[in-house]
Amino acid sequence: MAAAPTVFESRFAQMFPKLEPAEVDRLRRFGDVRQFGDGDYLVRAGERGMGLFVIISGEVEIRSHDVNRAPIVTHEPGSFSGELATLSDRPALVDGVAKGAVSVLNIPPDRLRNVLVEEAELGEKIMRALILRRVGLIQEGVGGPVIIGRPDSGDVLRLVGFLTRNGHPRQQLDPDTDSCARTMVERFHIAAHELPIVLCPNGELLRNPIEDALARCIGMLRALDPNRLYDAAIVGAGPAGLAAAVYAASEGLSVLVLDCRAFGGQAGASARIENYLGFPTGITGLALMARAYSQAQKFGAEMAIPNEVVRLDGNCAEGFTLVLANKEHVRARAVVVASGATYRRLDCEVLPAFEGASVHYWASPLEARLCQAQEVALVGAGNSAGQAAVYLASMAAKVWLLVRGKSLHDSMSRYLIDRIAAQPNIEVLTQTEVSGLEGADGMLETVRWRDKRTGEETSRNIRHLFLLIGAEPNTDWLAQCGIAVDNKGFVITDTNGRSLETNREGIFAIGDVRSGSIKRVASAVGEGAQVVAALHAYLARQKQQPGLVTV
């Protein structure tokens, strides 16, 4: 079977369009003309650039920082450089080098966002190219950090999953099979417990880093200005939070979005969403959320991911202060709680030993590759579980779907039930629960489950277990600020007669974290849009109070 064409092969013309002279002239008001000599770097991988470069004369070669790779493309007059890092003003993923004398129109990141908004047709052409170029870099493993470690290592999976969920390219090498990786490990005297190591584009070497350290090394996360006062701080970058960011930023509010892990929330981990309006053929959760993430940045929303909020201080008269896990502080006139929910875990004493390498809470291509031609077990009965079961069935030899209830009909959409029934390698076991896990060195070897009706126990040689058994509200960080929650921990809103506002004025809650919300992507997006009207009303009232000025 022939391999599917890469985005470089199938959409090259959209990735690297040529602008007409008249289009270049329309862009001149957004930037300044700069000159570069032969061999000069317009941009270096691992360093923040100066924005978008529109080539006026000469040529610019775009190439990987890896000298063993062929150049990616050569920009000629009418072409423009950049990808999504250019829009977000993050460090470049590739080098851009002048071939001969070069004249360019340089559009800085803040002015680039003006281009995308004010020049609709040109903005669409540029935005599409920036997105497709990032997709191409991810497919080719160009421009990101190099992760060196065994592919089945829980820490390798953790870091690869983190970068994947955040739409960031990376290269992965196994020191057991790759001579260059093995040489690197030997050269730096890396002990086994220090693996995986990560080589960042700026040359820094990390030993088994946490996600925060990796994000800062590659420039995905940077220090926040403690003196800036945002109109709104949105805690959570799932569908609700991203929708609020898009609509608030597009209407001129200064917005900061924080999330402790990645954009997209649980929706971003969905293998395929087929019941979201406007996508009749379906779309992966990551693709849908990546579009929303880029859209929010297009309108000027600032992203701080991964950044965990641990406490909310302040009052509506003086604004609010968000305290982050890294001891930083963020100030905002209003706060939108969109922190969603955390994955439920099995009540199993040995479960933590297998998490990461063998126990998974979502089913992405990364996990599916690990399960190829194997039997897997999946626990859950909701739509997320159904989507995951169908997706895994395309790769795994067999999927055992374990359901605590009597049937799927009370908790899963009909189209998914029908699709599961049509898959010959999915077996649904109702009124069944996991009774035991066995394995060694962090790798699962056996899963046992019990039929609650008969007490009969079954044992299977299974190395990967998927848990999609619902979630609990992520509200621990609100415990000390007096926000009212229901008996399950979900945030109560509308008590003061104001839509989506909590019992504390100026603090709003949307999406899965809100009590009474409908747990659907479309509903979350709707609440994200709806809350912006409430924000405007609140901020208008606050303007009547002196001493609160947006910086």
CA separation for the pair 524, 454 (Å, rounded): 41
> What's the pLDDT score for residue 315?
64
> What's the pLDDT score for residue 551?
36
User: Which amino acid type is present at position 454?
Assistant: T
CATH assignment, 7-140: 2.60.120.10
User: Which amino acid type is present at position 374?
Assistant: Q
Q: Are 101 and 35 in contact (CB under 8 A)?
A: yes
CA separation for the pair 293, 302 (Å, rounded): 10
Convert 51-85 to b/e letters by CB count within 10 Å (16 or more is b).
Answer: bbbbbbebbbebbbbeeeeeebbebebebbbbbbb
Taking alpha carbons only, the member of 176, 225, 250 closest to residue 329 is 225
Beta strands in 64-94 (DSSP E): 73-75
Convert 466-476 to b/e letters by CB count within 10 Å (16 or more is b).
Answer: bbbbebebbbe
> What's the pLDDT score for residue 548?
47
> What's the pLDDT score for residue 549?
43
CA distances 212 to 93, 237, 259, Å, are 19, 16, 12
User: Which amino acid type is present at position 405?
Assistant: G
* Low pLDDT (below 50) residues in the chain: 548-551
Name the token pair of 279: 């996508």
Task: Look up the pTM and report it.
Answer: 0.92
Bridge partners, 355 (sequence order)? 359
CA distances 483 to 150, 186, 518, Å, are 45, 53, 20
CA separation for the pair 405, 432 (Å, rounded): 8
Q: Are 477 and 310 in contact (CB under 8 A)?
A: yes
> What's the pLDDT score for residue 550?
40
Write down the domain spans for the chain.
7-140, 146-217, 229-342+473-542, 351-469
CA separation for the pair 221, 242 (Å, rounded): 18
Q: How many CA atoms lie within 13 A of 430 on its CB side?
A: 7
Same fold, 229-342+473-542 and 351-469: yes
Q: Are β-strands 146-148 and 197-199 bridged in parallel, bridged antiparallel, or unpaired?
A: antiparallel
For 144-159, what is each residue's pLDDT tens digit? 999 999 998 999 999 9
CA distances 36 to 3, 46, 101, 159, 497, Å, are 40, 20, 6, 38, 60
DSSP string, 407-432: -STTTS-HHHHHHHHH-TTEEEESSE
CA separation for the pair 419, 82 (Å, rounded): 42
Bridge partners, 416 (sequence order)? none
Residue 168 sits at the vertex; the CA angle it makes with 167 and 170, to the nearest 5 degrees, is 135
494, with CB counted inside 10 A (0-12, 13-18, 19+), is middle
Range 146-217 has CATH code 2.60.40.60? no
* Measured torsion, CA atoms of residues 69, 70, 73, 77, in degrees rounded to the nearest 10: 120
For 493-513, what is each residue's pLDDT tens digit? 998 889 999 999 999 999 999
CA separation for the pair 517, 505 (Å, rounded): 20
CATH assignment, 351-469: 3.50.50.60
Name the token pair of 89: 């003003």
Taking alpha carbons only, the member of 170, 181, 191 closest to residue 65 is 170
CA separation for the pair 284, 397 (Å, rounded): 22
Q: Are 247 and 228 in contact (CB under 8 A)?
A: no
CA distances 254 to 50, 257, 299, 382, Å, are 22, 10, 10, 37
Q: Are 201 and 65 in contact (CB under 8 A)?
A: yes
Q: Are 398 and 373 in contact (CB under 8 A)?
A: no
Q: Are 329 and 322 in contact (CB under 8 A)?
A: yes
CATH assignment, 229-342+473-542: 3.50.50.60
Q: What is the largest CA-CA distance in the chain?
A: 80
CA separation for the pair 432, 103 (Å, rounded): 68
Q: Are 487 and 474 in contact (CB under 8 A)?
A: no
User: Which amino acid type is present at position 373?
Assistant: A
Residue 524 in 3-state DSSP? helix
> What's the pLDDT score for residue 371?
92
CA separation for the pair 362, 382 (Å, rounded): 13
* Measured torsion, CA atoms of residues 433, 436, 439, 444, in degrees rounded to the nearest 10: 10
For 47-105, what is each residue's pLDDT tens digit? 999 999 999 999 999 999 777 788 999 999 999 999 999 999 999 999 999 999 999 99
